[in-house]
Structure 1
Amino acid sequence: MTQTAPGLLISAPSSGTGKTTVMLGLLRALADEGLTVQPFKSGPDYIDPAFHHAAARREAFNIDTWAMHEGLIGGISERADGADIIVAEGSMGLFDGVATRGESGFGSSAETALHMGWPVVLVIDVGGQAQSAAATALGFKTYNPDLPFAGVILNRCASPRHERLARLGMDKAGIDVLGVLPRRGDLTLPERHLGLIQAVEHPDLETAISGYASFLRENVDLAAIKAAARSGPARTGTLPPPPAQRIALARDAAFSFTYPHLLTGWREAGAEILPFSPLADEAPDPTADLVWLPGGYPELHAGRLAAAETYLAGLRKHAETRPVHGECGGYMALGQALIDKDGSRHQMAGLLGLVTSYDKRKFHLGYRQATLNAPMPGFGAGARLRGHEFHYSTILDEPDAPLAQVGDADGNPVPETGSVRGNVTGTFFHLIAEAIA
């Protein structure tokens, strides 16, 4: 199978311009026309793919040109098999990436668009400007002449006069205007410290997405959007194999951040995913070969997790003889204690000595590359992994042996090395892929 559907990438000059709202409305509007729409997310975002899935009614996947090798990108590209159109959402600003290899923009949304052959639709917030927005658009269009540029959607336009002035500037710059969205204060998604709230937490996500779709249909030229999409080069590849045959996966509002390409790869290779909810005081399946605690928001539910005796007893029993692994929030939940933002200390599973605090907040963000000192589920000692870290917790104590040597995207060491004790391992980074030389 190969990627043959035409695609495009929705991006912006910066975060906060409304591109996610545009993305969700566009996905649903195209799906409502009867098209099979394949959503992708450029970069390491944990949250947006679940919103994309809800809007397109089709599983969304990340494509990450920094963290993923070509074989994995090919395997993910094959997820578009049978789609009529691909719509991808960028991360941050279009050209924002890391400086690895001494280059600007490595791992950026622009690099994803170039790699996949997708023209860019730039969402520009024209609030507080008119013709000047064209200078911004022209700069983005010409910054990399090799990047296909489809046009712009003007967001938060205040009036018909404002629209006329903004269009005059775009006409002078030779930039196609694919839509103009009037300013509306209700077209926002709820947020918290990691960005958007999780899709499962939205009070009425279906109504919100339907509203975005109606708004896009009224104000965007969908025919022009579809005509702008282009097919990229055909790719094939494989998804990551499972770390075990029977995997008990924590799955609820406290533990929800797992990359879709991992779970899909595990299932397609024949692994059994056995979901359980620590918040509902459910123990992991006693027949599981592995317990995996993903990231999420355990700090918002620390009291309930500390009181979930059935969950904790089952987790500790499993760890006596079989592996347990936690990522970020899951890692914190495996530790000795978690201190919430109010300063209250909550006892966690105690399978690792880690103590973390949200009372003493510290921002951790960025790609991570790791070389394992000891095995973790699915990988032997010496394996080189790539992932991403994003949280606000501070380590107060981490007495166990370090699981890995961990660095940022440029190879600079970071102190969040993860831990290993017996059958239990944990990392602050969310695994994306094994690094392939």
Structure 2
Amino acid sequence: MINTSRLCLVEDDAIMRASLCQRFKIEDIGCDCFTHAEEALGALAERQYAALISDIRLPDMSGENLYIRLLDSERPPPPTIFITGYGTIDQAVRLLKLGARDYITKPFDLDDLLAKLREVSPSLFEDMHQGNAELGVSPAMRQIKNTLDRLAAHRVDLLITGESGVGKEYAARYFAQRYNKGTDKPFIAINCAALPEDLLEAELFGHVKGAFTGATKSRRGMFEQASGGVLFLDEVGETSPRMQAKLLRTIQERVVQPIGSEDQIPVDVRLVYATNRDLKAMVDRGEFREDLYFRINVAHVHIPPLRERKEDILWLAHRVVENYFNEHQARRLILPLTERYLEAQPWPGNLRELANAVERACILSPQEVLGPREFGASGEEPLLSPDHLSLKEAMEHYEERLLRETLEHHEWRIAETAESLGISRKNLWEKMKRYDISQPA
């Protein structure tokens, strides 16, 4: 039976292999990675993959010979895409005649590769909860995504709560996209805590010419500007009692009265509120209007902090790395050791703090690989020795360390270790032999 969530990748270039694996992780596609054709042949003999991506130039044999070996085996090869930096038309024609599904040359766009992969093996994407990763890959964020999908189909306002930096505005934007259904209806956001009361009132409700000093012309407020779409009121818990009263009237009657005007203007707007405050406690203390609280707390989504959904830590970190590459064409790689370091941090600033830390590490690191020290860890051995290891040597050094630590964690149980690393048992044995790793007596 085809494993619809796993892909076989054969690539000996460490940076290219890591970049592809990072992108597949972002897309929630399981991937077994190999550097040698013989390793891949062993894995392909043990299990049936949904697709195979292979480089042409490999250390032990060519990708073309790998494919021919698969054609001669009992199990037919999965849909196969070849990638190479040294391709020729004749070779491409030969491979396609043999049955390969596609052949692309380096450098290539990762989105193009994913599009080709979706064409040749749709099963890879069928069980991936497509779209869920727009907010995160943790069970909590998948559930929130499903809740927002349902709420978008109903005419109710939405309250989003959670600590600072958890992604409340991301959730609001996703909700607006689902509500607007791909149209050009507006999404307008305003931080209620960032403006003085008078300016906030003018921004929300608008004003007519001459309403106050400096009002040289009339201006539509955000309620009007967002009409037909979504208005996002961030930090609504920071509004003054006077502003709360004006918001309550507007929410109840769906009309606004610009400053200096006697006219009331109807607005058709979907409202999303967000706060990091406990509004119920504020009501009990007399700091927030109870009637306004009940008006805005019709549909409520609470986003948990990052420390309670650790699955989203690496998801976000790899997305930031990918965005950095797309913007600067400078490749960065988060080492497995660094991934574990990131997952162990509390991240009190949540997504905002983590994204800033990863972007800062990408900018300041003098090398392509990001070790724990790039994130402020102390006591870790340097990524590069005084002799300046090559990138290949550094990657092998950390691969050996990862193998030893994972084996020790699983008490040298080969099957559990191989499953944890996402490789076959044969591949694990071969790597242990290469690095002279054996269980202590």
TM-score for the superposition, normalised by structure 1: 0.32
TM-score for the superposition, normalised by structure 2: 0.31
Structure possessing the higher radius of gyration over alpha carbons: 2
Higher strand share: 1
